[in-house]
Amino acid sequence: MPRKFNSVRIIGVPSDLGANIRGANVGPSAVRIAGLHDKISVLGYKIEDAGDILVPIRETLPESAAKEKYLTTITDVCDLLRMEVEMSLDRDMMPIVIGGDHSIAMGTISGTSAFYRKKNQSIGLIWVDAHADMNTPASSPTGNLHGMPLSTLLGKGITQLVELGGFAGKLRPENVALVGIRTLDHEEKRICRESGIRYFTMREIDERGMAAIMKEALAVATKGTAGIHLSFDVDGIDPLYAPGVSTPVTGGLSYREAHLALEMIADTGMLTSMEFVELNPMRDVAHKTAELLVELVQSALGKSIV
């Protein structure tokens, strides 16, 4: 039976350490200011705000941290997040994680996976993004960790991140759906093709329509799983609607396509946890992207038009 949540737990992760562009660390504050609590409470959920995971700012870290692309710090942050997410689920509260760059997904999904692993169950994943985030240290042109989380969660990459929480392979490839990709690095294309996941490019969305794509993505994420984790990178949406991101790519999801995707996830009743990442308030226009993110959370939680 799908799990019914009456309560949610908001966890902020103010980290931009995984990226080379600053500003995503301000995301959690902007989303709260945009009315996250009020917009969730009107849907009837009880809310607990766990505050923010403690993330050191770059200026307080030694030069050696920058040379290792902040690996040690990101590992510590993701481990704290993993424990917070698992504890939320233990308390029968849906974790809603607000980032921060996409490296934090390694913590969120590790926590959700660990909770269901205790029950001998696995989770499915719907990952909405302009990028595949499937680089490894060997393939990445930059070495930035926000470009590697999905491969890491599938068991390939830096050992201390792959084995976060004491086990590797947080996801089965056949239960992963990657939606909205439109810009991949050269070697990353090969990794994506060989990974065993189901990916849907923007061309496929253009040709087939979002409803058909999401129907198939949901079938992938729910086949033999206890539920769905949603990992939503705001740069999956076209910059026309979501300008406040660190790495904008034209030709993304429309306003309604994004909402439809989350409305269809909500309809399954199988959402276990979610995160929204890569909001960069420093690049936003009149809080437009932060406000959209709050609306998307509402759609994922079941807000309907009528």
Active centre residues (catalytic): 102, 129, 131, 133, 146, 233, 235, 278
127: alpha, beta or left? (left if phi > 0; alpha if psi -120 to 50)? beta
Q: What is the mean pLDDT of residues 81-100?
A: 98
Interatomic CA distance for residues 103 and 14, integer angstroms: 11
Please check the confidence at residue 3 and state whether its pLDDT lies above 80: no
- Residue 129 has what pLDDT? 98
Judge contact between 135 and 110, C-beta under 8 A.
no
Say what percent of the chain tops pLDDT 70: 99
Q: What pLDDT, in 10s, does the model give residues 23-35?
A: 999 999 999 999 9
Q: What is the mean pLDDT of residues 46-57?
A: 97
Q: What is the mean pLDDT of residues 56-76?
A: 97
- Per-residue confidence at 256, pLDDT binned at 50, 70, 90? very high
- Residue 159 has what pLDDT? 98
Domain positions in the chain:
7-300
Mean pLDDT score across all residues of the chain: 97
Interatomic CA distance for residues 159 and 75, integer angstroms: 11
Q: What pLDDT, in 10s, does the model give residues 94-151?
A: 999 999 999 999 999 999 999 999 999 999 999 999 999 999 999 999 999 999 999 9
- Residue 2 has what pLDDT? 63
CATH number of the domain located at residue range(s) 7-300 in this protein: 3.40.800.10
